[in-house]
Amino acid sequence: MELRINQQTYQVEADADTPLLWVIRDDLGLTGTKYGCGLAQCGACSVLVDGNVVRACVTPVAGVVGREVTTIEAIEADAVGKRVVAAWVEHQVAQCGYCQSGQVMAATALLKHTPKPSTEQIDAAMVNLCRCGTYNAIHAAVHELAQGENA
Amino acid sequence: MNNSRFARTAGWLALPCLVAAGLLAWYVTREPATPFSASDSANAALVSRGEYVARLSDCVACHSLPGKAPFAGGLEMATPLGAIHATNITADREHGIGAYSLADFDRAVRQGVAPGGRRLYPAMPYPSYAKLSDDDVRALYAFFMKGVQPAAEANIPSSIPWPLNLRWPIALWNGLFAPTTAYAQKPDQDPLWNRGAYIVQGPGHCGSCHTPRGLAFNEKALDESGAPFLAGALLDGWYAPSLRQDHNTGLGRWSEAEIVQFLKTGRNRHAVVYGSMTEAFNNSTQFMSDDDLSAIARYLKALPGEPRRDGAPWQYQATAAAPDAPGAHTYATRCASCHGADGKGQAEWMPPLAGATSMLAAENASAINITLNGSQRIVAAGVPDAYRMPAFREQLSDREIAEVLSFARSAWGNQGGAVQAKAVGELRGHTDPASSSPIILHMR
């Protein structure tokens, strides 16, 4: 099947129900997206599909044929994603870093849909788990981003 | 002179060589002796046929335990009166049915009567198996006698106290509720319909779960002549939905091909097997032939629905997500990754909640149970499923589960209605593996 990932076209041989995460990590070698729980609970595997955040571990690959997938590798090609990464660096969010590609994808999806989200909207969207407990740093970075481009 | 002597000697030598070669040719191509005669090939076919009937009948579901010898019995069935255990039905002569004649076997399977006249509990679905044909009973007997390894596994006595453990009243129950004749072909219906009716009513014993039961735990109807037949029933903490043409809670929106796909692969665009149906799928329906599955689908599609029971026909309605609605936030964070923010699921891999029976039926046991305890492993054609519903027992409180289910059962046109935290709490207690009040066979 033919997949569009990060503006490139890939030919992939996989069963229809293979999780998208396995294809992008094992078949295509895009290992920035992480495997966490495999149950859509933690968010480490978050990617964007047509601009919406999805958990790649529970996304059958057949379901994204004909759609545009964005992974952490290409997030800085997106204007919003570039701002998010810059804020993450400025706030030194990452500790071990394992969950952070998923956190960045979640924040990018939120800001693409809602450029200036309210606190409630941020709380509703930023639900990925972080074992290091970097929630305060994530909170600070997203709230700064929520004030808009000039903040 | 020399030449002729040489020729004569060669002639004498050639004879034994020819004999030896002939013996060798016979020896290396001979067919060795076997204890089986040519007529046993028919028996092999009968055993194989019997194995298929055992699959249709899902004998293994109750008469086998994981990790134990097949058909050695042991499954515990809790009843309000005490526990009973499925028995050893291997050909072991002491503990199993090795001493049964074909007639003994037939009386047990189709009439619920063990040798000596002892009545079986109707946990054994003999009111359904009564419809089995003579040929299928003969094949089933051949399979259990010759196709199953005998296992010397002792039966576990029931814990039902005297006098409740007296079996003779069951004979009276049988007289009222259990049919005594095999399935009779309906000449006004085509062969496919008749085959489907035979499997659904007889070996498949679909009605054991899907037909509501009366006061005496009897199935309210045993074939299509009764309106309650396969109209949906609560059993074992799951709601077995209607298999009739009910638009919302039955198979009204399923095509025949989709019914076949569901029973063959465990999934289609409407639903994925879960709850007790997972066992029926893993052990039985996926092994049915395509012809038999088509027959079942044809028969089920011929059972009319009942709009008064089913309610107004469901139609998808886009639901504007109100993030502050109770349950909506839990849905977005816990459910939407698989079931979709729009409730439509993902193709046949993750089932939709929009229009799902569990979201439309007034009975909410299945919705609560699957959320608390997750789904069991589905194994289709030897391959375990890639995606499974996780258990939220430890992660969500009774109130959170009640709220998220109330949200899902009222979103996207669903009309199942609100779920109370108390109902979640009760089922949580009943389905707790460490509970002292395990789930009982409610029947109703």
Mean pLDDT across B258-272:
97
* pLDDT in the model for residue B164: 87
Is A35 within a domain? yes
The burial class, CB within 10 Å (0-12 / 13-18 / 19+), for B49 is middle
Cis amide bond preceding A60, omega within 30: no
Classify residue A81: in a domain, yes or no. yes
| pLDDT tens-digit readout, B344-398 | 999 799 999 999 999 999 999 999 999 999 998 899 998 888 899 999 999 999 9
- Flag whether pLDDT at B247 surpasses 60: yes
Option in B329, B332, B337 nearest A58 (CB):
B337
CB-based contact, A74 to chain B, within 8 Å? no
Chain B contact present for A81, CB below 8 A: no
Of A17-21, B210-214, B330-334, B399-403, the one with minimum mean pLDDT is: B330-334
Q: Which of A44, A73, A102 is the last residue of a domain?
A: A73
Token pair belonging to A10: 């890939």
User: A124 vs chain B: nearest CA distance in angstroms?
Assistant: 7
Question: Chain B residue closest to A126 (CA)?
Answer: B333
Q: Residue B17 annotated as binding?
A: no
Distance between CA atoms of A111 and A64, rounded to whole angstroms? 22
Q: How far is CA B133 from CA B53, B114, B128, B226, in A?
A: 11, 19, 12, 22
Nearest C-alpha in A relative to B327:
A124
pLDDT above 70 (res B77)? yes
| Nearest chain B Cα distance for residue A62, angstroms | 9
In chain A, which among 90-109 make CB contacts under 8 A with chain B?
A: none
Q: A19 and chain B: CB distance < 8 Å anywhere?
A: yes
Same domain, yes or no, for A86 and A67?
Answer: no
Query: Which residue, A54, A73, A92, sits at the end of a domain?
Result: A73
Compute CA B297 distance to the chain's CA centroid, rounded to the nearest angstrom: 16
Q: Which residues of chain A does B346 touch, with a Cβ-Cβ cutoff of 8 Å?
A: 59-60, 63
Domain residue spans of chain B: 43-148+162-182, 309-430
Report how far residue A108's alpha carbon sits from residue A127's, in angstroms, rounded to the nearest whole number: 13
Mean pLDDT by 10 residues, chain A (151 residues): 96 95 97 94 95 94 95 97 97 97 97 94 92 97 89 48
Of residues B324, B386, B390, nearest to A17 (C-beta): B386
User: A26 and A80: one domain?
Assistant: no
The residue type found at B219 is E
pLDDT at B443: 28
Which SS3 state, helix, strand or coil, does residue B245 take? strand
Q: Which of B65-79, B137-151, B187-201 has the lowest average pLDDT?
A: B65-79
In the prediction, which pLDDT does B40 show? 58
Q: Which residues contact A136 (CB under 8 A, 6 or more apart)?
A: none
Complex-level ipTM: 0.85
Rounded to an integer, the average pLDDT of B62-78 is 88
Pick the CATH number of B309-430 from 2.160.20.10, 1.10.8.50, 1.20.120.350, 1.10.760.10: 1.10.760.10
Residue that terminates a domain, selected from A55, A73, A91: A73
Residue B77 neighbours by CB under 8 Å, 6+ apart: B62, B83, B84, B85, B86, B123, B441
- Domains in chain A: how many in total? 2
- Examine residue A150 and state whether it is found in any structural domain, yes or no: no
Give the model's pLDDT for residue B33. Answer: 65
A40 vs B323, B337, B347: nearest CB: B337
> Does B62 count as an annotated binding residue?
yes
All residues at 6 or more sequence positions from B414 whose CB lies less than 8 Å from its CB, including other chains: B314, B343, B353, B354, B355, B356, B359, B360, B408
Amino acid at B434: A
Residue B240: per-residue pLDDT: 96
Q: Which residues pair with A19 in a beta bridge?
A: A60
**Nearest-CA distance from B159 to chain A in Å?**
41
Mean pLDDT value of segment B398-403: 97
> Which of chain A's residues have a Cβ under 8 Å away from the Cβ of B394?
none
State whether A10 and A57 are in the same domain.
yes
pLDDT band for B39, please (50, 70, 90 cuts).
Answer: low
Same domain, A80 and A139: yes
A39–B390 C-beta distance less than 8 A:
yes
Q: Mutate one of A23, A39, A114, A120 to test the B interface: name it (highest B CB count within 10 A).
A: A39
Pick among A58, A67, A105, A120 to test the B interface (most B CBs inside 10 A): A58
Exposed/middle/buried for residue A140 (C-beta within 10 Å: 0-12, 13-18, 19+): middle
Measured between beta carbons, the chain B residues lying within 8 angstroms of A39 are 388, 390
At a CB cut-off of 8 Å and minimum separation 6, what does B222 contact? Answer: B127, B128, B179, B201, B207, B211, B229
Mean pLDDT of B274-292: 94
Lowest model confidence (mean pLDDT) among B145-154, B319-328, B414-423: B319-328
Question: Which CA distances in Å does B129 have to B87, B169, B180, B242, B354?
Answer: 17, 20, 10, 21, 37
Helix B102-111 vs helix B134-142: crossing angle, to nearest 10: 120
Tell whether A151 is covered by a domain. no
Check which CATH number belongs to the domain holding A57 and give it. 3.10.20.30
Residue ranges making up the domain that contains A102:
75-145
How confident is the prediction for chain B on average, in pLDDT? 90
Closest residue of A to B348, CA-based? A17
Inspect the interface and report whether the beta carbons of B347 and A19 lie closer than 8 Å. Answer: no
Q: What are the DSSP calls for B141-153, one per residue? A: HHIIIIIS-----
Strand pairing category for A52-55 and B379-380:
unpaired
The helix (H) or strand (E) run that includes residue B271 is: none
Q: In chain B, which residue's Cα lies nearest the Cα of A53?
A: B337
pLDDT exceeds 60 at position B86: yes
Answer yes or no: do A63 and B349 touch at CB < 8 A: yes
Contact (Cβ atoms closer than 8 angstroms) between residue A29 and residue B358: no
Distance from CA of A141 to the nearest CA of B (A): 21
How distant is the Cα of A40 from the closest Cα of chain B, in angstroms?
6
Q: Is residue B339 annotated as involved in ligand binding?
A: yes
| Ramachandran category for residue B66: left, alpha or beta (phi over 0 → left; psi -120 to 50 → alpha) | beta
* Residues B259-290 as b or e (16 or more Cβ within 10 Å = b): bbbbbbbbbbbbbbbbbbbbebbbbbbbbbee
- Joined tokens for residue A31: 């290992």
User: Residue A4 carries which DSSP code?
Assistant: E
Residues A121 and A139 in one domain: yes
Kindly state the DSSP code that residue B365 receives in the 8-state scheme: H
Residues of chain B contacting A124 with CB distance shorter than 8 Å: 323, 329, 332-333
- Nearest by CB to A124, from B323, B337, B386: name it: B323
Q: Are residue A6 and residue A64 in the same domain, yes or no?
A: yes
Average pLDDT over every residue of B66-93:
89
Confidence at residue B13, expressed as pLDDT on a 0 to 100 scale: 82
Q: What is the pLDDT of residue B442?
A: 34
Amino acid at B324: D
Helix (H) or strand (E) holding B233: strand B233-235
pLDDT tens for B205-235 read 999 999 999 999 999 999 999 999 999 999 8
**Numbered residues of chain B with Cβ closer than 8 Å to any chain A Cβ:** 323-324, 329, 332-334, 337-338, 346-347, 349-350, 386-388, 390
pLDDT of residue B2 exceeding 90:
no
Cβ atoms of B278 and B375 closer than 8 Å:
yes
Q: What is the CATH number of the domain that holds A108?
A: 1.10.150.120
- Domain match, A125 and A84 both: yes
Q: B63 a known binding residue?
A: yes
Same domain, A69 and A85: no
Q: Is the Cβ pair A60, B329 closer than 8 Å?
A: no
Q: How far apart are alpha carbons A83 and B102 in whole angstroms?
A: 79
How many Å apart are CA B73 and CA B62, to the nearest integer?
7
Q: What is the pLDDT of residue B263?
A: 98
Q: Is the CB of B347 less than 8 angstroms away from the CB of A127?
A: no
In this structure, the answer to whether residues A58 and A82 fall within a common structural domain is no
